[in-house]
Amino acid sequence: SDLQKQEERGELLQPLIFILLVLCSVLLYFKVSLMDPGFVKSEEETEAGNSEEQSMVIPQVPSNIKLRRCGYCMVKQPMRARHCQLCQHCVRRYDHHCPWIENCVGEKNHPLFIAYLSVQLVVLLWGGHAAWSGLYFEQSWDQLRHNIFLLVSFLLIVIFTIVVLLLLISHLYLISCNTTTWEFMSHHRISYLRHSELENPFDQGVIRNLWRFFC
């Protein structure tokens, strides 16, 4: 492959950058999967009614919509929080429970989750290019058989690249609208959205939505 040829020529810059990107991807994976996604603590109950996100939505929501108490962990849920049956906790700004990282994606780790997907996409695209550069289809079957690992790797990389790309695009779209996967999929079942005069009371425009999320 291209990376192997550069290494043999002593040109180590690109191979080292590729290795660093892979290590960065692995570190981000463990960071996102092991960190607190925004679990609601019991001592936060008194602060839940004063959160910034709730103050943004109250004018558009009827006054009879109250903060509900979770029937599982018995904490008072802030606006946009949801209980995760797998994590056994309520999560602030709950997006979804990701089986790949075995953790919820919520208020605290959602930006890092986007960073992880972005780095992973770069690694997959670069790895796919490296695998493709090592394939020579004019070879005989006996020679190609020795490179079957490259061919299988390339096909797997293509599949994972499509999955990661679609996932990243969908999350960036939802972030630009200031909504979550859970709110987007269950809009009709969420009281503060179902009774709101606006379709999405949290939307402040694409620029401000992106700024609030990443900054």
Long-range contacts of 61-69 (CB under 8 A, 24+ apart): 61/192, 61/195, 61/196, 61/201, 62/195, 65/191, 65/192, 65/195, 68/191
- Residue 19 included in any domain: yes
Residue at 157 is within a domain? yes
Range of the domain at 10: 2-36+108-214
The half-sphere exposure of 83 on its side-chain side, counting CA atoms within 13 A, is 12
Give SS3 for 181.
helix
Q: Is 207 a domain residue?
A: yes
Mean pLDDT throughout 175-197? 87
Residue 75 within any structural domain of the chain: no
Rg (CA), the chain: 22
Comparison of pLDDT for 154 and 67, the residue scoring more: 154
Instruction: Please tell me the predicted confidence (pLDDT) of residue 21.
Output: 95
Phi and psi at residue 97, to the nearest 5°: -95, 120
Q: In this predicted model, what pLDDT tens digit does every residue of 111-127 receive, in sequence order? A: 999 999 999 999 999 99
Tell me the pLDDT of the chain averaged across its residues: 83
pLDDT at 200 over 60: yes
Q: Is residue 74 domain-resident?
A: no
Positions annotated as catalytic residues are 98
Position 213 pLDDT exceeds 60: yes
In a domain, 63, yes or no: no
- Residue 72's pLDDT is 82
Cβ–Cβ contacts within 10 Å for residue 111, how many?
14
Domain count, the chain: 1
pLDDT digits (tens, 9 = 90+) for 19-76: 999 999 999 999 999 999 999 887 654 455 555 444 444 334 445 556 678 878 888 8
Does residue 67 belong to any structural domain of this protein?
Answer: no
The predicted pLDDT at position 54 comes to 46
**Cβ-count burial 51-72 (b if 16+ within 10 Å, e if not):** bebbeebeeebeeebeeeeeee
Q: What are the residues whose beta carbons fall under 8 Å from the beta carbon of 209, sequence distance 6 or more?
A: 175, 176, 177, 178, 203
- Is residue 77 within 8 A of residue 90, CB to CB? The reply is yes
Question: What confidence score (pLDDT) does residue 165 get?
Answer: 97
pLDDT at 62: 47
Count of other CB atoms within 10 angstroms of residue 137:
6
136's tokens: 């020579």
Q: Is residue 21, in this structure, part of any structural domain at all?
A: yes
pLDDT score, position 142: 64
